[in-house]
Structure 1
Amino acid sequence: MSDFFIYLQLGFDHITDPRGYDHILFVVALCAVYTLSQWRQVLILVTAFTIGHSITLALATLQLIHYSTALVELLIPITILITACTNFFYQEPKSRSLSTTRREKQRWRYALALAFGLIHGMGFSNYLRSLLGREADITKPLLAFNIGLELGQLLIVGIILSITYLVLHLFQSSRLRWTLIMSGIVAGMAISLIINNPLFAK
């Protein structure tokens, strides 16, 4: 297996690893207000997140930016909590047409995903730098790792939207109730991560 596919696999495994579930929680929070029929909107949303984390992942791995690891580890659950809380106020428009108000709301969510992606990218870079060590050329490993992350995200999104479809159609659950349940669970887990963060504890 080539180095490219090794790093691609590592990127995929990193974001789908249940032991590092903070990034999974963020993707869940992003998708909580959408259904399977809205997969295009979700794809754009996840792409915005990918663009954000790709930028800081590259800059941090190339050591062009420097930051406090402890601070980033605190900021990541904060982004999860904020995203989950915005879902409590999300209102699905009655009309299927894209009104000006709806477009503005969608742009706001895309901008939020992009901004929070910048923070998560710094979290990804800690793991990637530990893998690279003193490797001379990091361009291909960086690209492969990023692609692996994206594939992992898409898998998580597919699972979330599929579960949502089953809950709404097979069990006839209310969409609002399901959104609140998912977002509430994610918010609770994010609060736990924040409280147990060493910086917060100080």
Structure 2
Amino acid sequence: MNDFWLYFKLGLEHVLDWQAYDHVLFIIVLCAAYTFNAWRKLLLLVTLFTVGHTVSLLLANYSVVSVSSSWIEFLIPITILVTALFNLFTAGKERKAEKLGLLYVSTLFFGLIHGFGFAGYFKMISSDQSIIHLLEFALGIEAAQIIVVILVLILGFLVQTVFRFNKRDWVLVISSIVIGLVIPILMENWIF
């Protein structure tokens, strides 16, 4: 049981680490367009992200797939930027991409990319290649993501009700802030 809490806590702390805030930025921009009324869709998106994340951790942990860390460090801010741009272009419009499943598939794919970013870290902290430890770590990541989602939903609710922002403006502001924060990360990890 002690191992469970150790790996759960490591997953939780790894997402909520202020020095590695790219994961949080992705979750913020992913859920910015949602309200508490759409919690089921949002939970599905976050869980799909975790599933992709866990699959890539499994693939990397068991040396099935090996991806260059420089490519992953470059692609992670790209996933954040693409999601933020998607929000900018679809803010206030009906989410047709959601109906087609595009948002769900891309979120799963982005989870794969982010998971490869954690692979080296997980190998470093896990002395054995236990799938149980990896799943405990994944549960910590999922819990941290849900914490971020709840905080963003609360903030969005307050901004939209107290300060009378409409939903479209909220999405535009949050997505623009995230773009401003992710551009330096992208420039720092530019591989071309």
- With over 3 angstroms needed to count, the CA separation of the structure-2 counterparts of 1:137 and 1:113, relative to structure 1, is closer
1:114 aligns with 2:112: no
Query: 2: CA distance between counterparts of 1:10 and 1:34?
Result: 28
Q: 1:184: which partner in 2?
A: 176
- Secondary structure at 1:20's aligned position in 2? coil
- With over 3 angstroms needed to count, the CA separation of the structure-2 counterparts of 1:171 and 1:91, relative to structure 1, is closer
1:153-174 deviation digits (Å, cap 9, x = unpaired): 0000000001000100111112
Identity of aligned residues (%): 39
1:8-64 deviation digits (Å, cap 9, x = unpaired): 100000001111100000001101111122111111111111111111011111221
Which residue identity is paired with 1:159?
L
Contact kept in structure 2, 1:25 and 1:186, CA below 8 Å: yes
Which residue identity is paired with 2:153?
L
- Secondary structure at 1:110's aligned position in 2? helix
Contact kept in structure 1, 2:53 and 2:111, CA below 8 Å: yes
Q: TM-score, structure 1 length as denominator?
A: 0.89
Report the Cα offset of residue 103 of structure 1: 5.2
1:120-159 deviation digits (Å, cap 9, x = unpaired): 0101112111111xx3352221111011000000000000
Query: 1: CA distance between counterparts of 2:64 and 2:77?
Result: 24
Query: 1: CA distance between counterparts of 2:131 and 2:189?
Result: 32
Q: TM-score, structure 2 length as denominator?
A: 0.93
Query: 2: CA distance between counterparts of 1:115 and 1:13?
Result: 23
1:171 aligns with 2:166: no
Match of 1:131 among 122, 125, 132: 125
Unaligned runs of 5+ in 1: none
Report the Cα offset of residue 102 of structure 1: 7.0
Count matched residues. 192
Q: 1:22: which partner in 2?
A: 22
Match of 2:147 among 145, 148, 155: 155
Q: 1:43: which partner in 2?
A: 43
RMSD (Å), alpha carbons: 1.8
- Secondary structure at 1:76's aligned position in 2? helix
Contact kept in structure 1, 2:91 and 2:171, CA below 8 Å: no
Q: 1:145: which partner in 2?
A: 137
Contact kept in structure 2, 1:72 and 1:119, CA below 8 Å: yes
Which residue identity is paired with 1:60?
A
Larger Cα Rg: Structure 1 or Structure 2?
A: 1
